[in-house]
Chain A
Amino acid sequence: MNSTVALLLCGPAALLGTAILAVAASRLVYATRLIYGAALVISAALLVTIAGHLAGSPGEVSAITLPLGLPWTGARFRLDGLSAFFLVVVNLGGAVTSLYALGYGRHESAPHRVLPFYPAFLAGMNLVVLADDAFSFLLSWEFMSLASWALVMAHHSDAANRRAGTIYLVMASFGTLALLLAFGLLAGPTGSYAFDTMRVAHPGRFAAGAVLGLMLLGAGSKAGLVPLHAWLPLAHPAAPSHVSALMSGIMTKVAVYGFIRVVFDLLGEPAWWSGIAVLLIGGVTAVLGILHALMEKDLKRLLAYSTIENIGVIFASLGLALAFKANAMPSVAALAFTAALFHVLNHSFFKSLLFFGAGAVLTATGERDMEKLGGLIHRLPVTSFVFLLGCVSISALPPFNGFASEWLAFQAILQSPELPHWGLKVIVPAVGGMLALAAALAVACFVKAFGITFLGRVRSPVVERAHEVDRWSLAAMAVLAAFCLLAGILPGFVIDGLSPVTLSLIGDRMPVQTAQPWLSIVPIAESRSSYNGLLVFVFITISASLAAFVIHRFASHALRRGPAWGCGFADAVPAAQYTAVSFAQPIRRVFGGFAFRARETVEMPAPGSLEPARLKVDMHDVAWEIFYQPITGAIDFATERLNHLQFLTIRRYLTLVFLYLVILLLVLALWP
């Protein structure tokens, strides 16, 4: 049946039309509402179409070939379980972001630089997920990258944004190059670029290993795997906040889709060791990402680094799925794969929510630096409440959604003793320890993010003038917060919804969860492990309200306001509060030594001097120094040397030409 995918392709086409319309109309007064409204309607329509498709025939595949693109292949598009799931992620994110942008976009200083690229970006992401041959995939991928690059550069008068844009562009080109080579290897000597032929032709062992490595480079650089992450915390925060939400919450998921599509679908049966690299990179990415996030004091950069952590969790789960799949344990592989996809969905919810919150703070105060904020819970009551829900979800705390997916990942890790290979047996628990460390550090990170930004005393006058943001933004954030709670207390429905995808890619599925009594989730058997988010939520709610009621009714409900306890020093200035940097100091002392080569020096004034003592903290991004600086240094060195060629005399040029000819002739003469 071709009608579904044809219908779905109308969506990106309509979005592209909106983009063209936006070029013409972007300076009109109503342009913002018009464009975001159109994007909202189209995304919602796409969502309804996919929902209808999933409700009717979830496992069905629908494909179409359009007479576009390369003359001998055409442009192929296909809808299967995997792309349907990612289309839900993309369009749900797109719809909620457009809703948010209806309000947030009004504060945009340069709407003509944002409006045309926003629908184009959405269209690009939809097309990547639908593409069914290497050419359309790469074209859509580049389109998505360039549209997002243009959005990063929207505020290009800021030098930091220009630098972020340049680094992003270089990394995106590098990633696409890796993808191009991967598809070249998959296409084989015949050069058949359709995914259908790649799916049946299995490459050899070395080629498969090379494709896996290239996908880790190509999709991994877009998703933000360490050490290819350096561009992400620069580029994601540089864009307007709703675009940051799309890039962090949704575009990284499209990269995950690319990885899954190639490694799980096109590459055929994985080798037993293929999971190791993915697992290790995932675990390291999770820990380093969240450690970097903890050291940040810019709210949006903190969120971008935390995206890296979550991508690490997703890739570690994917690595587990690969390892179990390769060792003929499909039911556990299905568990790990479900955990990865569930976390994809969850992260798209709470990361968009948190970026929306950061955007609301930015609108209300004009400030991204947490150390200039504080006390916003009194000025932005609704925003602070939904942001708190987002923080609880992303910190993987029950009964919210982040915990449900991480719990599934841990359940898969606990099955590792069944694996036959020693390497995997030892690595999987180590990665489990890394994920636990990342989860615990995430709690610390979001205590800091919420505590410094919204709690405490006001640190600067911008907060005094802050007002609650508009209703569109609040509605978008409330919708996402509700999704976070629902997916957390009713995870069984999500897991069952993912079963067609695991069935088609892993060949097995988790047990039917909605049939379990009381809607609890049971990965393998109830005697082994089970979790009931709904019951935990209900228990906590009942016991908290019961305790509050009993105490207020029978003991006391008297309340008096007074000044805070100052230990004898009345009226300490707000600057005496803990700041973002001082909050992270204990963790920096524990982990900073090896993660950042952090060093603290205290400059004491001479005895008797009235100068203040100063604490200097010196931190390094190790990945940047090890991987990026040598490369940029080498390129600089080479260009510097080659630059001399411009300024030679004519005799030297002639000598060079002569030498070149001689070498060429020698090569020809010696060629067998």
Chain B
Amino acid sequence: MAVIFELAVQGAQMLSVLLLAPLLIGFVRKVKARLVRRQGPALIQPYRDLIRLMRKEVVLADNASWLFRVTPYLIFAATWVAAALVPTFATGLEFSWAADLIVIVALLGSARFFQALAGMDVGTSFGGIGASREVMIASLAEPAMLLIVFSLALVAGATQLSTVAAFMGSPQVGLRVSLGMSLIALVMVAIAENARVPVDNPATHLELTMVHEAMILEYSGRHLAMIELASFLKLVLYVSLISCVFLPWGLAGAGAGPKALAIGAAAYLIKLAVLAILLAVFETAVAKMRVFRVPDFLGAALMLALLGTLLLFVSRSL
């Protein structure tokens, strides 16, 4: 019976990230629109878009290969699995030991690998420009991410997210400079990984500035729906990651009852809303930077993460 309950909780987690992902995007868009005094589309607009895309036929470029058609499902699956492994409302889920934070980051790497390949499949310049910029951004974001993992592991003594979250929720953490630096670095990496302003603009279709959009320019119909859903899921993943590591309040522990789970779910929704509002405010306040300024931005994240790690070597309590 306990096993069935645990499995149900795990299943609820998988479904909730999948179902919440378009809502989060819709909420960010709504807040951004309101900030510039526009009415903005309805909150459920991303759901409508996805359903419409899924129903449309796929227009495939003449020389697209099988890889181009398989990739959307692979990207979606890898991102979904990764997102489902990050604790959202509860830690210590049935399958949480299947992957630690490094695996989750690497799973996103797998998704990116196939996305960049699909961008090059049709053989237009847009796909190439997007793929080559994407791997450049990733080559800087991944080491920064690993150093963040490193400082977290130094503080919490584990890379297993459930353990990290449980430790960060305990009173022995306190306020630490190194964790502050890791938080800033993680936010910067998250912005770059999710192709948000100022690194990339998810709403642009201007050739010279796009990165993510350039890679998926040839996609249409259900394939585009899968890729869009994967990118929504990725935002949920990073928001959940930040909230479970740095805002671990209200998380239900391993083997928690329905009441704790309900509290966890409510707390999770509040955290999502707060972080989404912050993201929208930030995106509205800054301008997109040139592609070759992005290395400076990510270099700053790398340095902050490294400084955080080195501070921990000076003193475990900093």
Contact = CB atoms under 8 A, between A and B. Distances in A.
Interface residues of A, number: 83
A447 B117 contact: yes
B136 interface: yes
Most A C-beta atoms less than 10 A away, residue of B106, B133, B154: B106
B62 A520 contact: no
Given A443-B135, A536-B98, A585-B132, A560 B58 contact: yes
A35 interface: no
Given A564-B218, A572-B125, A451 B120 contact: yes
Nearest to A392: B113
A551 B222 contact: yes
Interface in A399-457: 403, 407, 410-411, 413-414, 417, 425-426, 429, 432-433, 436-437, 439-441, 443-444, 446-448, 450-452, 455-457
B21 to A, nearest CB: 14
A567 B117 CA distance: 21
Contacts of A572: 124-125
A577 B124 contact: yes
A576 B150 contact: no
Contacts of B67: 377, 388, 455
Given A436-B143, A527-B160, A556-B55, A586 B136 contact: yes
Most A C-beta atoms less than 10 A away, residue of B78, B141, B143: B143
B289 interface: no
Given A392-B113, A451-B131, A578-B125, A558 B57 contact: yes
A414 B150 contact: yes
Interface in A369-412: 374-375, 377-378, 388, 392, 395-398, 403, 407, 410-411
Interface in B115-134: 116-117, 120-129, 131-133
Interface stretch (A63-71, A340-348, A539-547): A539-547
Most B C-beta atoms less than 10 A away, residue of A398, A403, A527: A398
Contacts of B143: 433, 436-437, 440
A461 interface: no
Contacts of A583: 128, 131-132
B102 A410 contact: yes
Interface string B142-177: 110111001001100111100100000000000000
Contacts of A565: 61, 124, 126, 217-218
A415 to B, nearest CB: 9
A374 B124 CA distance: 12
Interface string B4-41: 00000000000000000000000000000000000000
A398 B109 CA distance: 9
A168 interface: no
B81 A396 contact: no
Nearest to A574: B123
Contact of A532 (B97, B120, B125): B97
A531 interface: yes
A455 B60 contact: no
A535 B95 contact: yes
Contacts of A577: 123-125, 128
Contacts of A413: 150
A528 B163 contact: yes
A455 B147 contact: no
B110 interface: yes
23 contacts: A374-B123, A397-B109, A397-B113, A413-B150, A440-B140, A443-B139, A447-B131, A451-B131, A456-B123, A526-B97, A527-B158, A528-B158, A528-B163, A543-B81, A544-B73, A551-B225, A551-B226, A555-B51, A555-B55, A556-B221, A561-B62, A562-B61, A576-B125
Given A433-B306, A558-B58, A564-B123, 6 more contacts: A410-B102, A433-B143, A443-B138, A456-B121, A556-B57, A567-B126
